[in-house]
Each structure stands twice: as C-alpha cells, then as structure tokens.
Amino acid sequence: MQIDPQEFLMNTYAPYPVTFVKGEGSWLWDDTGKRYLDLLSGIAVTSVGHCNPTVTKAITDQVGTLCHVSNLFKNQLAPQVAQMLNFLITGEPDLKGKTFFANSGAEAVESAIKLARRWGGGKRYKIITAHNSFHGRTFGALAATGQPVKQKNFYPMLAGFEYVEFGNIAQLEAACEDPEVAAVLLETWQGESGVICPSQDYIGQVRKLCDQKNILFMVDEIQTGLGRTGKWFGFQHFGVMPDVITLAKALGSGMPVGACWAKQEVADCFKPGDHATTFGGQPLAMSAVKATLEVMQDENVAEKAAQAGLYFYEKLQNINGIAHVRGKGLLIGIELQNQESAQVGRQLLQAGLVVNAVTPTALRLAPSLLITRQEIDLAIEIISQVLQADKVNAIS
Ligand SMILES: Cc1ncc(COP(=O)(O)O)c(C=O)c1O
C-alpha cells in the first residue's frame, strides 16, 4: 500500500486539496495546469507579486555568490538593509534606530519581547497586548497572542503577559498602572482576527500613555507593514512613531526573514551575547530584502495599495451577499451576510480565486500591491458570481 506523502508531514495544517507549482505576478498555477488569481499572496508575503523579476534576479545572483557566513563575521548586505529600513521608518538618513534580523515573524516578536525585558533591567518585564491579537506561535509570541484557544494546549504560558480589549484606552491605562510593565505590544490592524480596525484616536492615545508612563510602545507590523495598508507602515496612519517595530512576511518576498527595529537608545540595551540566530541577516535573505525594498520604493507600492484598496472597497460594497467591508489599503476583511466563509472560500478556489476564510464569517484579502484594475475587476466578477450561486446554500 502506498502512503500519501502528505502523511509524512506533522498534522499542524489542514490545507486545501490544491498543490501550487508556479507563480507569476498575481497569478498561481496548480499541478493540473489550472490558473488562479491570488488575492492572498501567501498571507501578505508576495507583496510585489510572485517571482518578481528584480527580486528573483537578486536572489539568484546572490545564491551563486555567497549564501551564508554566520554572525561571527560581518557581511555587506545586512548593514545596508538595516540602513534602508531605518530610513523608511524614520524618514531620516541619520542613525535613529537599529535592526536585529530574524527568520520569521514570530522570531521578530521574540526579539522584541527580549529587548523589552532587557530595557526593563529586571525590574520591569510585563508586556500588555490585546485580546484577539496575533503575534506568532513560538512560546514568547504565543504568550503575547491574546487568544486562549491557541494557547490552551501548551500551558503554562510564559509569564508576564496581560491582555486588554483592543481599542479600549481606559483598560490599557489601568493595566499600565502596574510599575512592572515594560511595554505595550499591538498590531495596528488585527489581521489574523479578521482585519479589525482601531478607532482613529486609539493608536495616538496609546503612544501618549506610553510616553507618560515611560513604557515602550512596540508595534507589530508583520502583516500591516511595507505598504500593505497604503502607507509604508500602519502606524503612519496615526501620526505616531513606535519605540520598537516588528516586520516579516513581505520583507523577503517569500524568503523567510523577519526584523525587529528599535530606536537607538532601546536597541542599544542589547549587548553581544544577549540574542542571536544562526541565519539572521545572512546574505541570501538580505539580497531578497534589499531587492524587495528597492522594488517597493521604485514602484511606489504604498500609494498603489492605497488607490487599489479604494477601488476594491467601492466595488466590494456593491456585491449582494456582503454585509460590510473593512480594513485599509490592500488588507481587506469581507464580512459575509449569512454565509460560511470556509464554504465560500472553497467555492472561490474552485472558481479560480485564492482568498482566506479568516473567521467563520469573514474572508481576508491581501493581494499583491501591484494588482491591476483588470485583475480587481475579474476578482469582483468571480466573487459576485460565487456569492449569488451560494445563496442557495446560505446558513439561514
Ligand atoms: C501580526 C503578526 N505577527 C506575527 C505573526 C507571526 O509571523 P510568522 O508566521 O512568520 O511567525 C503574524 C503571522 O501571521 C502576524 O500576522
């Protein structure tokens, strides 16, 4: 009897029965040759399109030159990329902040947690995060994630995390009365919980509170960063500057890489030996990041995402079967009217459209930031058709 090779993988995912073998721009092909319009980008990763030619060339050139040397030695690319990130974050060429490179979003968050504790000097170590937040699955990031459903099979959690309602400044104020609090860690939009938007005032109020209490304001921009919401970073919609920022996902266009940026005086709390990872900042990953950031700058992706997002919202709002649309730029949550998102997601996939059933009633879209108007029009046509057909199978 032949074993399905899928059985050799640990059973942590429940993938759709589709195997993608090729990608280009906003498009994917499966192993039968069927073509799909990808509105998910590997969960907000391939923001400059699948196999972007500039990124592909940079990686292929680098792979034949030098992939890895370890952090026992310097390499040319990591400092260049850190300087680029610092400029994008602060808008200034001078040294305002420093970056630690990791290999995933969760590891970027781990770095931020350790940095906050190091900054707290042993006396302040608690971190306040939000209910329904998502920060990753490693132990620190999981403890930071305000979702008992994801934590419960792995108790006890790492100590020192408290959770408040996202958007409720009074609750956060009360939590920050504790003198052991070192940091507040928030997403600007809660992507994994269904693209939950903060009120316009909230993020600014958090910044003010952190300043008053001398608490670090750490922003998880792993999903919202790098143009996704129509600005380079989500926090820029609120006119604030965080003390610590985590990035990953779109940073390497699919090359696994994460980053934790912190303003200089906070970053300088880390000393040699405090934190490390073998692959962090290696030339191969950095070549992908450098090329990705250059494409993002050259193509002005943030502005494109803002424009495309407005166009998408307007069209989505007119579709029968959609209760409401939320989000910012090209991070879009679609709340369905009386229909199960998982079923609609499967039907869309069959119809050649890749989306994500992010909650039982909502779909999430995070297409390439270079998606064209024609591709959006096609997506709208498919979504309208599927939602009309699906009315027959409505829950109530
Ligand atoms: C806001 C946020 N933080 C952290 C993570 C974890 O990133 P990774 O899956 O790369 O560990 C994610 C992943 O979805 C995320 O959306």
CA–centroid distance, residue 192 to ligand 1 (Å) = 8
Residue 367 Ramachandran class (φ > 0 left, ψ -120 to 50 alpha, else beta)? beta
191: Cβ below 6 Å to ligand 1?
yes
Query: Are 54 and 287 within 8 A, CB to CB?
Result: no
Beta bridge partners of 336: 322
End position of a domain, from candidates 298, 332, 358: 298
Whole-angstrom distance, CA of residue 327 vs CA of residue 305: 12
pLDDT digits (tens, 9 = 90+) for 344-396: 999 999 999 999 999 999 999 999 999 999 999 999 999 999 999 855 454 43
| Separate counts of helices (H) and strands (E) for the chain | 13, 15
223: Cβ below 6 Å to ligand 1?
yes
Q: Cβ of 337: how many Cβ atoms within 10 Å?
A: 15
220: Cβ below 6 Å to ligand 1?
yes
> Residue 1: pLDDT band by 50, 70, 90 thresholds?
confident
Place of tokens 């260049």: 80
pLDDT digits (tens, 9 = 90+) for 201-254: 999 999 999 999 999 999 999 999 999 999 999 999 999 999 999 999 999 999
Residue 389 pLDDT: 83
User: Could you tell me the residue range of the domain that residue 67 belongs to?
Assistant: 57-298
Q: Once rounded to an integer, what is the mean pLDDT over residues 165-184?
A: 98
Q: Six-digit token pair at 374?
A: 């024609």
- Residue 137 sits in the same domain as residue 220: yes
Closest atom of ligand 1 to 249 CA is 10
* Per-residue CA distances from 36 to 19, 24, 33, 68 (Å): 12, 11, 10, 35
Closest atom of ligand 1 to 43 CA is 14
Place of tokens 């002005």: 300
CA–centroid distance, residue 364 to ligand 1 (Å) = 15
- Choose which residue among 13, 101, 107, 134 to substitute to test ligand 1 binding: the one with the highest number of ligand atoms within 8 A of its C-beta: 134
- Looking at per-residue confidence, does 182 or 1 come out higher? 182
End position of a domain, from candidates 298, 332, 360: 298
Q: How large a percentage of the chain has pLDDT more than 70?
A: 98
Asked, as a colleague might, if the bond just before 156 is cis with ω within 30 of 0, I would say: yes
CA–centroid distance, residue 223 to ligand 1 (Å) = 7
Whole-angstrom distance, CA of residue 14 vs CA of residue 5: 15
pLDDT digits (tens, 9 = 90+) for 49-98: 999 999 999 999 999 999 999 999 999 999 999 999 999 999 999 999 99
CB neighbour list of residue 32: distance below 8 Å, 6 or more residues apart: none
CATH of residue 329: 3.90.1150.10
Residue 396 pLDDT: 36
Query: Are 338 and 394 within 8 A, CB to CB?
Result: yes
106: Cβ below 6 Å to ligand 1?
yes
**The 3-state secondary structure of 143-184, one letter per residue:** HHCECHHHHHHHCCCCCCEEEECCCCHHHHHHHCCCCCEEEE
- Residue 377 sits in the same domain as residue 252: no
Count: domains in the chain: 2
Whole-angstrom distance, CA of residue 111 vs CA of residue 100: 8
135: Cβ below 6 Å to ligand 1?
yes
104: Cβ below 6 Å to ligand 1?
yes
- Residue 72 sits in the same domain as residue 36: no
Question: Which residue, by CA, sits nearest to atom 4 of ligand 1?
Answer: 135
Closest atom of ligand 1 to 187 CA is 1
- Residue 334 sits in the same domain as residue 230: no
Query: Where in the sequence numbering do the catalytic residues fall?
Result: 134, 220, 249
Whole-angstrom distance, CA of residue 38 vs CA of residue 258: 23
- Residue 116 sits in the same domain as residue 196: yes
pLDDT digits (tens, 9 = 90+) for 125-171: 999 999 999 999 999 999 999 999 999 999 999 999 999 999 999 99
Please indicate, yes or no, whether the overall pTM of this predicted structure exceeds 0.95. Answer: yes
End position of a domain, from candidates 298, 331, 358: 298
- Residue 307 sits in the same domain as residue 294: no
- Residue 26 sits in the same domain as residue 80: no
Whole-angstrom distance, CA of residue 383 vs CA of residue 349: 10
pLDDT digits (tens, 9 = 90+) for 99-113: 999 999 999 999 999
Whole-angstrom distance, CA of residue 343 vs CA of residue 361: 10
Strand order in the sheet with 161-164: 97-102, 258-263, 244-247, 216-220, 181-187, 126-130, 161-164
Q: At 36, which helix (H) or strand (E)?
A: strand 35-38
- Residue 231 sits in the same domain as residue 336: no
192: Cβ below 6 Å to ligand 1?
yes
Residue 395 pLDDT: 41
- Residue 369 sits in the same domain as residue 221: no
> Cα–chain-centroid distance for residue 72?
29
- The mean predicted confidence, pLDDT, of the chain is 97
Q: Cβ of 8: how many Cβ atoms within 10 Å?
A: 7
CA–centroid distance, residue 132 to ligand 1 (Å) = 13
Residue 71 pLDDT: 97
Residue 332 pLDDT: 98
CATH of residue 103: 3.40.640.10
